[in-house]
Every structure is written in C-alpha cells, then in structure tokens.
Amino acid sequence: MSRPARGKVWEPSSLGGLPDSGPRVGVVALQGGVREHAELLIGLGARPVYLRTPDDLVGPDGLRVDALVLPGGESSTIDRLLRIFELGEPLKAAICAGLPTLGTCAGLVLLARDVLDPAPGQGSLGILDVSVRRNAFGPQVDSAEELLETTLGPTRVAFIRAPRIETVGADVDVLARRGDAMVAVRQGPVLGTSFHPELTGEPTFHRWLLNQIT
C-alpha cells in the first residue's frame, strides 16, 4: 500500500538508517516510549513515522500511514497532548475506519472505552470495548520482566505501572492473562497490551500489527 510521504521519519543513529521500503507505521510521538517502538519496527522492516499533528496522519489523498502505534508513557499526559495538538479525533476516525493499531500500557488506556480511575479531566479515545484500571499492578518499584504465555505464542515482556483490563465486550478476544488478570486483548485490527513488549525487544505484537496491513 503506497502512502504520500509526510511526517518526520525516525532516523536512529545506531541502526544505520531505515529500510529502503516497507510499510509506514505511525508512532504517536507526544510523550512516552517512542524510540523503543521505532527501533523494533525498523528491525521488522517497517518505516516508523512520528505523529504529532493531524497533517502527519492525514493528507489530501487520505491516510499517510499503514498502521499505528500508541506507546506507553503517562496516559493522562498523552490524552491532554492529543487534545492540545488536535490529534485525538483524527486518530479515532482513522482507527474506527480500520487502521491496524497497537497500544501498549498507556496506549491501551487511551484506546479503552472506559477508564475506571481517570486522572482529573482524563478521557480516552473510546475505541476498544474494554474497561481498564490504571497502575493496577503497583508502582514503579514493582516493575517486572517476565515470560508470558499468549495466544500468539510465548513472549518476554515488561510490566511497568501497568493497567489492568477489568471487563471486555463480546467482540473482544483475550490474548493473555497474568494470573487471573487480563493483560492483552484484540478487537478486529486493534490490539492492546497492559505491558511493554518494546522494552524487551519482543517482536510478536509488532509483527502481528504489520500482518494486519492489507
């Protein structure tokens, strides 16, 4: 799928440049773990593109990216910046129209229909039919890297102030649990995780994202 060029393409100093071709994946770059997602995508042959404004996402000929990543970070801060930069509504429209999307940690919170314990004034895109509770697995000192069994196979991921998925809608598939807690879900071409695969270099979920591109 060919898209018009727009937005700043990630140029990592340590990886020798970008692939010459491949899908363009928009990475929301307002706050949070942008670099780790970009480097993992490059390793899979994709071309990450920073998304900061509506023009980075949509041009006169339509969408400028083939898929989307909402990274981890501080969900209330990213939510506020999405509104300040007027990027939230274009993102929502693109995802609802079928743009393959991966949201990790704070990205899951941003995708959720309901945030049960929002910060003052915090909202969400309301796309993924789940309810979540922020920081449900404890503070930063309780962070952990672990091997997690998922329906996509075994994965090594990191939990850092991770949200917990409390309820899911009828059309949502649960991909992974941590004990009795749901920590990864999929609804159509949208996948959300409570954890960070990008911090451990785990490619499973980003590979899934690229496989959704038609």
d(Cα 144, Cα 182) in Å, to the nearest integer? Answer: 16
Question: Structure pTM?
Answer: 0.90
**What would the pLDDT profile of 50-108 be if each residue is shown by its tens digit?**
999 999 999 999 999 999 999 999 999 999 999 999 999 999 999 999 999 999 999 99
d(Cα 99, Cα 97) in Å, to the nearest integer? Answer: 6
Strands (E), the chain: 24-28, 47-51, 58-59, 62-63, 67-70, 101-104, 112-115, 128-133, 144-150, 153-159, 164-168, 173-178, 181-187, 190-193
Which carries the bigger pLDDT value, residue 180 or residue 14? 180
Pairing mode of beta strands 47-51, 112-115: unpaired
Helices (H), the chain: 34-43, 54-57, 75-84, 88-96, 106-111, 204-211
- Amino acid 137: pLDDT: 77
In the annotation, is 202 catalytic? no
In the annotation, is 105 catalytic? yes
Q: Which two tokens stand for residue 206?
A: 């980003």
Average pLDDT, the chain: 90
d(Cα 73, Cα 70) in Å, to the nearest integer? Answer: 9
Catalytic member of 36, 37, 105, 202? 105
> Where in the chain are the domains?
24-211
d(Cα 135, Cα 75) in Å, to the nearest integer? Answer: 10
**What would the pLDDT profile of 161-176 be if each residue is shown by its tens digit?**
899 999 999 999 999 9
Catalytic member of 36, 37, 196, 206? 196
Torsion of CA 84, 73, 70, 142, to 10 degrees: -150
| Confidence band, pLDDT 50/70/90 cuts, at residue 136 | confident
Catalytic member of 36, 74, 89, 198? 198
**24-211 CATH fold:** Rossmann fold (3.40.50)
**What would the pLDDT profile of 15-57 be if each residue is shown by its tens digit?**
445 667 799 999 999 999 899 999 999 999 999 999 999 999 9
d(Cα 72, Cα 158) in Å, to the nearest integer? Answer: 11
Give exposure, 154-177, as e/b (b: 16+ Cβ within 10 Å): ebebbbbbbbbbeebeeebeebbe
